[in-house]
A and B are shown apart, each in its own frame.
Chain A
């Protein structure tokens, strides 16, 4: 099937994609989503529901269309080209923050896909993007490789809950040994942040909920068991979730109280400090 790209001017992400396709010898047609309206508008009307915009109503580019699938954003597109849907769990909406790319989760990388994941990061960094890498404590050996190669400009180690909730929230278990290694890596990373992320998840009944303050406190105990350092600099932050009201900074105070019972330096991370 012919490949069509919708790109923009001065778009480093679009350049990365074009160069990657060229390196594989794949031909493609590329249209500017603003200038080539005759090509882009019919495509947009047909796929409007599947395309996302950010908080400022900006459309993320590049957009990839091979007639079978449509992928949006350099992370999603590269992951698809490298591994089909195998990397889908570790690549989210990557955002359009200039020069940075986020929502790439090393801990969600499936076994056997490590090289594809690393290749994706290499392409992004070589193309000039700074990677904000997420981790959740799992896959410390892959995280170590990423850091060793300098493929992450910033590391966000997200503690998603106490051990017993990890399968439900993260999609897999987390053992203390892996968490201990991940914490050590985050602390040694140049711009590493460790945060207890109050994120929405589906419970065993399929209902959407989020970590409670008591569970956040239990997550802090889990962290302490792994690192034995009650002075560990740790933040608390809320992730927005569909169907659940956003948590404001004041809403996180009970979380901080519970976390501080174990990790005394816990602070709420303000959005503007990102």
Chain B
């Protein structure tokens, strides 16, 4: 789609009466972790603190990392996971996962963390009534990388995902390795064949001579379920300690039994295997799949940013001649669905956004990163990550807050991308003081002009005899599907 070259950044829409007001933590490319208020004022920058993701905790603490491993030798490995106070002091740190010796760098312990972590007290790391992440104690679940060899997946070297449970002292007390459970994931023979040939094989980021590894699963989200109605009703699959993850490259969302390590619930990798899954539709390259915590509207349902884009292993097709990244869709969906019936309870797709599918659908589209957070008033904070657009939408799909990330990567990817954001209540950051909430009405884009540009409207009009006007819903080259 054609994007404008010039457009406003910062907060562009804000309705204080309908929004769930608080602070938002944003990971700005090449800059650090920024805490903004509802009008976009940048209240605090934790400079050069990486965020994969950044999270804001009570007491004005944030989570993040002090840096990323040299991409010549690894893919997205964070050096550590740190908890920082308002003044930037390290309150807690974990890095003792692997001792790394990269050429040209001092040997050191590294967490190799990527994409997610969760602190005890909260299941998902965002606000829910009565479930605050601990800041002075507690265990932390950390999603990390580990090199493995697993012939069931491929004969190639693999970059696997591992979950560590780390205590306050920084010791690993529980560990779960993804490839140990690949046989439980239900890959078809076609998918296995494709994965065997190319398990998302890539060098360290974009550096061609970096050692190649197969990032076969690419887990990008990990959280606990917490107390929920399904378990209360006797469904053991949803034990509060169980962990839900999703794999971007496999299109799988699954729940891990914390005690046995076995997968006890999943959707994907194939969404054509039951009427329920077909109705749910293909979830592709998804991010941030989690169970909405108790106390929030929709509690117990699964909320996921279904990116679309390209992902999954399967039969070769015109869009994926080798069966790698076999499922494709050029728009995104945010889905809230019942994990038992798989019925969609709520969604935000191009249709709800007011864009025709498929003609205009890619106007709501982030093919990678992104997230969705359920807020206490029933709104949903959506991070459309690839372009750095944050929107808060009501249950009725009205945008009541919009923020466009003004920061573009200069060292890393040249994009305005924002991996994930979180909204926190004012009381979590007492240091910031009382905030003004100034409404920002959506500008009329038809009349909005840059200085020097001509105003809207013809300078003269002539009526033409014989013209008949226009039809509503006139045909187009491509049929709308909705």
A254 to B173, alpha carbons, bound, how many Å?
A: 6
Asked if A138 lies at the interface with its beta carbon under 8 angstroms from chain B, I say: no
B109 contacts A253, C-beta separation under 8 Å: no
Asked if B99 lies at the interface with its beta carbon under 8 angstroms from chain A, I say: yes
Of the candidates A231, A250, A265, the one whose C-beta lies within 8 Å of that of B175 is: A250
Asked if B171 lies at the interface with its beta carbon under 8 angstroms from chain A, I say: yes
B99 contacts A253, C-beta separation under 8 Å: no
**B103 to A: closest C-beta gap in Å:** 15
Asked if B96 lies at the interface with its beta carbon under 8 angstroms from chain A, I say: yes
Q: Closest residue of chain B to A266, judged by CB? A: B99
Q: Which residues of A contact B101 (CB under 8 A)?
A: 231
A249 to B173, alpha carbons, bound, how many Å?
A: 11
Q: Which residues of B contact A231 (CB under 8 A)?
A: 99, 101
Of the candidates A250, A254, A260, A265, the one whose C-beta lies within 8 Å of that of B96 is: A260
CB contact under 8 A between A257 and B109, given known A264-B99, A265-B99? no
Asked if A195 lies at the interface with its beta carbon under 8 angstroms from chain B, I say: no
Q: Which residues of A contact B96 (CB under 8 A)?
A: 257, 260
**A257 to B: closest C-beta gap in Å:** 4
Q: Closest residue of chain B to A256, judged by CB? A: B172
0 or 1 for each of B167-185: is its CB under 8 Å from A? (1 = yes): 0000111110000000000
0 or 1 for each of A243-274: is its CB under 8 Å from B? (1 = yes): 00000011001101100100011000000000
A256 to B171, alpha carbons, bound, how many Å?
A: 9
Chain A stretch 161-190: residues in CB contact (< 8 A) with chain B: none
**A1 to B: closest C-beta gap in Å:** 52
Q: Which residues of A contact B174 (CB under 8 A)?
A: 250, 253
B99 contacts A257, C-beta separation under 8 Å: no
Q: Which residues of A contact B173 (CB under 8 A)?
A: 253-254
Q: Which residues of A contact B99 (CB under 8 A)?
A: 231, 260, 264-265
Q: Which residues of B contact A257 (CB under 8 A)?
A: 96, 171-172
Q: Which residues of B contact A264 (CB under 8 A)?
A: 99, 109
**A213 to B: closest C-beta gap in Å:** 9
0 or 1 for each of B159-173: is its CB under 8 Å from A? (1 = yes): 000000000000111
A254 contacts B175, C-beta separation under 8 Å: no
A231 to B175, alpha carbons, bound, how many Å?
A: 22
A98 to B403, alpha carbons, bound, how many Å?
A: 67
Count A-side interface residues using an 8 Å CB cutoff. Answer: 10
Q: Closest residue of chain B to A263, judged by CB? A: B99
A254 contacts B109, C-beta separation under 8 Å: no
Q: Which residues of B contact A249 (CB under 8 A)?
A: 175
Q: Which residues of B contact A253 (CB under 8 A)?
A: 171-175
A108 to B172, alpha carbons, bound, how many Å?
A: 35
**A94 to B: closest C-beta gap in Å:** 29
A264 to B109, alpha carbons, bound, how many Å?
A: 9
Q: Closest residue of chain B to A260, judged by CB? A: B96
Q: Closest residue of chain B to A264, judged by CB? A: B99
0 or 1 for each of B20-37: is its CB under 8 Å from A? (1 = yes): 000000000000000000
Of the candidates A250, A254, A265, the one whose C-beta lies within 8 Å of that of B171 is: A254
**B159 to A: closest C-beta gap in Å:** 17
A190 to B68, alpha carbons, bound, how many Å?
A: 37
A107 to B191, alpha carbons, bound, how many Å?
A: 50
A264 to B96, alpha carbons, bound, how many Å?
A: 9
**B170 to A: closest C-beta gap in Å:** 8
Q: Which residues of A contact B109 (CB under 8 A)?
A: 264
**B468 to A: closest C-beta gap in Å:** 76
Q: Closest residue of chain A to B172, judged by CB? A: A253
**A168 to B: closest C-beta gap in Å:** 27
0 or 1 for each of A218-232: is its CB under 8 Å from B? (1 = yes): 000000000000010
Q: Which residues of B contact A260 (CB under 8 A)?
A: 96, 99
A250 to B96, alpha carbons, bound, how many Å?
A: 17
**B18 to A: closest C-beta gap in Å:** 47
Q: Which residues of B contact A265 (CB under 8 A)?
A: 99
**B329 to A: closest C-beta gap in Å:** 39
Chain B stretch 166-211: residues in CB contact (< 8 A) with chain A: 171-175
**A236 to B: closest C-beta gap in Å:** 12
Q: Closest residue of chain B to A267, judged by CB? A: B98
**B405 to A: closest C-beta gap in Å:** 39
A254 to B99, alpha carbons, bound, how many Å?
A: 17
A249 to B162, alpha carbons, bound, how many Å?
A: 14
Q: Which residues of B contact A250 (CB under 8 A)?
A: 174-175
A260 to B171, alpha carbons, bound, how many Å?
A: 10
Chain B stretch 101-133: residues in CB contact (< 8 A) with chain A: 101, 109
Q: Closest residue of chain A to B176, judged by CB? A: A250
A260 to B98, alpha carbons, bound, how many Å?
A: 9
A257 to B174, alpha carbons, bound, how many Å?
A: 11
A257 to B165, alpha carbons, bound, how many Å?
A: 12
**B23 to A: closest C-beta gap in Å:** 36
0 or 1 for each of A88-104: is its CB under 8 Å from B? (1 = yes): 00000000000000000
**B227 to A: closest C-beta gap in Å:** 24
A49 to B465, alpha carbons, bound, how many Å?
A: 111
**A30 to B: closest C-beta gap in Å:** 42
A256 to B175, alpha carbons, bound, how many Å?
A: 12
A256 to B164, alpha carbons, bound, how many Å?
A: 13
**B129 to A: closest C-beta gap in Å:** 33
A52 to B171, alpha carbons, bound, how many Å?
A: 40
A253 to B164, alpha carbons, bound, how many Å?
A: 10
A253 to B166, alpha carbons, bound, how many Å?
A: 10
Q: Which of B99, B109, B173 has the most CB of A within 10 A?
A: B99
A264 to B98, alpha carbons, bound, how many Å?
A: 8
Given contacts A250-B175, A253-B175, 12 further A-B contacts (CB under 8 A): A231-B99, A231-B101, A249-B175, A250-B174, A253-B171, A253-B172, A254-B171, A256-B172, A257-B172, A260-B96, A264-B99, A264-B109
B-binding residues in A (CB < 8 A): 231, 249-250, 253-254, 256-257, 260, 264-265
Identify 11 residue pairs between A and B in the complex whose beta-carbon atoms are under 8 Å apart, listed by A's number. Answer: A249-B175, A253-B171, A253-B172, A253-B173, A253-B174, A254-B171, A256-B172, A257-B96, A257-B171, A264-B109, A265-B99
Pick the 3 closest A-B CB pairs, nearest first.
A264-B99, A257-B171, A253-B172
